Amino acid sequence: MPLPAAFHDIAKRVNNWGRWGPDDEIGTLNLITPEVVREAVATVRTGRRVPLALPLQQDGVQTGLIPGRVNPLHTMTAINHEIFGPGTVAHTDDAVTMGLQAATHWDGLTHVSHSGRLYNNRPADSVTAQGGAAFLGVEKLPPIVTRGVLLDVARVRAGSDGWLDAGHVVTPEDLDAAEEAAGTKVRAGDVVLVRTGQIRHYLAGDKQAYGFPSPGLSIRTPEWFHARDVAAVANDTLTFEMFPPEVPDLWLPVHALHLVEMGMLQGQNWNLEELARACAEEDRWSFLLSAMAEPFTGGSGTPVAPVAVL
């Protein structure tokens, strides 16, 4: 069953293939220019730092629904080991096994494909078991330090202590309303953080409710982001877009539009709760954001420990 015309119509309008040359592997991160970085830095007022990552632990957000996407297994490989003899300085080491998309993460540009293609017309089969992503791997991403803007849709639609219902499709109109409430215009090179409040289920101990049904970004929002030339988008859900899907039988269309058509990273499982409080307290919804990819060679995703500096 091919993807429907409704998808392809949007795809054409947001497509960035070739925009930064035939060899481009970083997509909309091209939009983070030195000037954008300087402007991002200029947003800092108080120096308040807000971390956005969930703890990396076995009791993470994954429930086993997605085979292979395992929560972090943290193990010790040495504990107070007096490797140089009794009474010497002792060392402790640890190791981890985890899915790169399991916790707070960026979806890399190879995380989804459609019609056999990746962003910038790379063949999907350029991703292999032995090498991972031959093109578009996360190790090639430039440093992600830019202006962040929080679009607190939960606050706008459900009040300052509220969150969106599981069936809430986040629309361009929601984004407009949140942007207006924020009093700042989203600009080229920004990373937009869309808060739904859904992560409160996980923080309250209910992983199942967190996973799905879930509110998420509408198939109509990629055009909104495209029009503003956003560098990347992240939110506080497991699925990013609606799940079950907004359009029956059309699965992961927003993933495909963002990653394949636009070449734009997506972030998931970002904890925006403290940030929402901080922004509300300071009545300021833009900030310096650092959200560095861990450079896994050939990686289709990467854990990220983002920080907002207000």
Binders in 216-235 for its own copies, by CB under 8 A: none
Residue from 91, 165, 167, 208 binding its own copies (CB under 8 A) = 91
Region near its own copies per CB under 8 A, out of 17-25, 150-158, 167-175, 253-261: 253-261
The reply on whether position 92 binds its own copies by CB under 8 A is yes
Please identify which residue in 57, 121, 160, 208 interacts with its own copies, judged by CB under 8 A: 57
Smallest gap from residue 161 Cβ to its own copies (A): 25
The least CB distance from residue 19 to its own copies, in Å, is: 21
Instruction: Report if residue 279 touches its own copies, rule: CB under 8 A.
Output: no
> Minimal CA–CA distance to 149: which of 229, 218, 216?
229
Question: Angle 104-109-113 (CA atoms, 0-180°, nearest 5)?
Answer: 115
Instruction: Please give the single-letter amino acid code of residue 107.
Output: D
- Cβ(178)–Cβ(151) under 8 Å? yes
Residue from the set 8, 18, 19, 35 that interacts with its own copies by CB under 8 A:
35
CA distances from 306 to 203, 267, 270, 291 (A): 18, 10, 8, 4
Applying CB under 8 A, among 5, 21, 130, 159 the residue interacting with its own copies is 130
From candidates 10, 26, 36, 262, binder to its own copies by CB under 8 A? 36
182: CB partners within 8 A, 6+ apart: 149, 150, 151, 152, 279, 285, 286
Should residue 277 be labelled a site residue for its own copies when binding is judged by CB under 8 A? no
> Total number of residues binding its own copies (CB under 8 A)?
99
Q: Which is nearer to its own copies, 84 or 183 (CB)?
A: 84
- Contact between 274 and its own copies by CB under 8 A: the answer reads no
- The yes or no reply on residue 125 touching its own copies (CB under 8 A) is yes
Please enumerate in sequence order all residues whose Cβ is within 8 A of that of 248, keeping only pairs 6 or more positions apart, or say none: none
Stretch that binds its own copies, among 11-19, 170-178, 275-283, 297-305 (CB under 8 A): 297-305
| 48 sits near its own copies (criterion: CB under 8 A) | yes
Which residues have a Cβ under 8 Å from the Cβ of 134 and sit 6 or more positions away?
A: 126, 127, 128, 298
Structure tokens at 268: 């998931």
Segment contacting its own copies (CB under 8 A): 45-53, 158-166, 210-218, 273-281? 45-53
Q: Closest CB to its own copies among 170 and 293? A: 293
Main-chain dihedrals φ then ψ at residue 9, nearest 5 degrees: -60, -45
What gap in Å lies between CA 236 and CA 193, rounded to an integer?
A: 8
Please select the residue that binds its own copies; options are 14, 15, 251, 284, rule is CB under 8 A.
Answer: 251
CB of 156 to its own copies, least distance (A): 27
* Cβ distance to its own copies smaller for residue 78 or 180: 78
b/e code 235-273 from CB counts within 10 Å (16+ = b): bbbbbbbbbebbeeebebbbbbbbbbbbbbbbbbbbbbb
Residue 282 is a binding residue for its own copies (CB under 8 A):
no
Q: What are phi and psi of 284, to 5 degrees?
A: -150, 130
Cα–Cα distances in Å, from 282 out to 43, 153, 182, 234?
Answer: 12, 17, 11, 21
Q: Which of 26, 242, 256, 278 binds its own copies (CB under 8 A)?
A: 256
